[in-house]
A and B are shown apart, each in its own frame.
Chain A
């Protein structure tokens, strides 16, 4: 369970990333976070595994106070939280399986890491993770031979291989075309159901969010303005979240700021 208790984040330059966030997320939920760029979606997600420090309030993950963690404890804590990035963040020169195996590194003795010696068991688990996201046949290809959608699935497999209880995804489909984006989202949904992993997704595509997520959080200027089931998101809610400006209804790769400019 993830618990935000009156959490705020002020950046050193004075920008308010988050303001008085109160939130409770149960294990196994599929949460979509929507909002304009710069509204604080990324900040919210990154505070959970402490890639970003909060400046006020309390953040509990499975009853652990995140801000109290340091060094080794923090790293051990991060082991059970997977993270997916918009730009995939794979080593493009390495093979797919090496990328997946890299999530085993923190558990390995240094000499095995040094020479990249992974056990047969680890390799099998990595291959199985790749099989779960339907990309097993590319296991020994180099990552730079893959398409964007395939790379994001490899990143997902890397995270699954880590066997996390929470997956944080920071705009995982923003650089994918609409059809592939849908496929990747359905992968997320399957993993959420099959493995009972809590999933938090930042997403610009409202229709994809409503299609796959069970719960939607709307953020505006660092504050939560909507929190409820996906089925109850109405046009009024979207107007509130997007400041009454146009709401993207297609899965096109349209930047929301771009829409604002077009309509204003």
Chain B
């Protein structure tokens, strides 16, 4: 009886095939789900193509244009480099401030979003929902709002990055906290420490390396992504990219992209070095 309740809908609609062996034993072979999934996928593709106006012919006929643009991008204008530096520094500054602020805020909140520390179900759900909401808006939308409220410039960008970072790091962190060994926490409770004291002394040392790792990862992500925030006026490289693309100066765009590439690579290397130190 319990079995029929647990049978997935699919297996109730498409009854499993019963195979009888020569010795009379039977085996149920569930019907393959692949045809159904493929059919659904096909329908989805048709709907999506209609809704986006998918046009392969256009792509082929205009493909040469891409070659021209990419050709210019891969032939960067070196003389443009000095002009890249100031907004690049702006981007890095925004990323540092935003990452640090976001990570520092994420740490205490994620403690209360972990089901093994916070036993109060309603507050747990509310906090998690807030984290989800914060995470679901793209950084550039935040940046747009903050530019309108605080004026053009890097402050709005830093704030937007802080929100974005908070969302990601808090989620990674509470998932992390839920996998730690709760034994030491129990021990601390057994000799009379409060919840907070127990967490701080018994759980924090376990999550700190992972936390720093997440922060570094986020910093790299932020440098990469914050280069677009300037598009809505939040400072950094985005403004310059927008301007150069508008003027069709793709060699300059190439220089900007090359700079980002080198910076991201450098940060990646430094991060790897720091990681090898802390783990």
Contacts and interface: CB of A to CB of B under 8 A. Distances in A.
A215 to B, nearest CB: 23
B275 to A, nearest CB: 15
Contacts of B192: 74-79, 106
Interface string A66-81: 0000000011111101
B183 interface: yes
Given A77-B192, A81-B191, A89 B197 contact: no
A82 B184 CA distance: 13
B206 interface: yes
A77 B192 CA distance: 7
A208 interface: no
Task: Give the interface size class of chain B.
Answer: 10 to 19
Contact of B194 (A83, A89, A106, A162): A106
Given A105-B201, A106-B197, A113-B200, A89 B184 contact: yes
Interface in B185-200: 186-194, 197, 200
A99 B188 CA distance: 10
Nearest to B190: A83
Contacts of A98: 205
A78 B193 CA distance: 9
A4 interface: no
A115 B58 CA distance: 63
Q: Is the interface of B mostly helix, strand, loop or mixed?
A: helix
B202 interface: yes
Nearest to A78: B192
A104 to B, nearest CB: 10
B181 interface: yes
Given A87-B183, A88-B183, A114-B200, A79 B191 contact: yes
Interface in A158-182: 158-159, 162, 164
28 contacts: A74-B192, A75-B194, A77-B192, A78-B189, A78-B191, A81-B190, A81-B191, A82-B190, A85-B186, A85-B187, A89-B186, A89-B187, A90-B184, A91-B201, A91-B205, A91-B206, A93-B206, A94-B205, A98-B205, A102-B188, A102-B201, A103-B191, A105-B197, A106-B193, A110-B197, A113-B201, A158-B187, A162-B191
Interface of A: 49, 51, 74-79, 81-83, 85, 87-94, 98-99, 102-103, 105-106, 110, 113-114, 116, 155, 158-159, 162, 164
Q: Which are the 5 A-B pairs with shortest beta-carbon distances? A: A89-B183, A78-B192, A83-B190, A75-B192, A89-B187
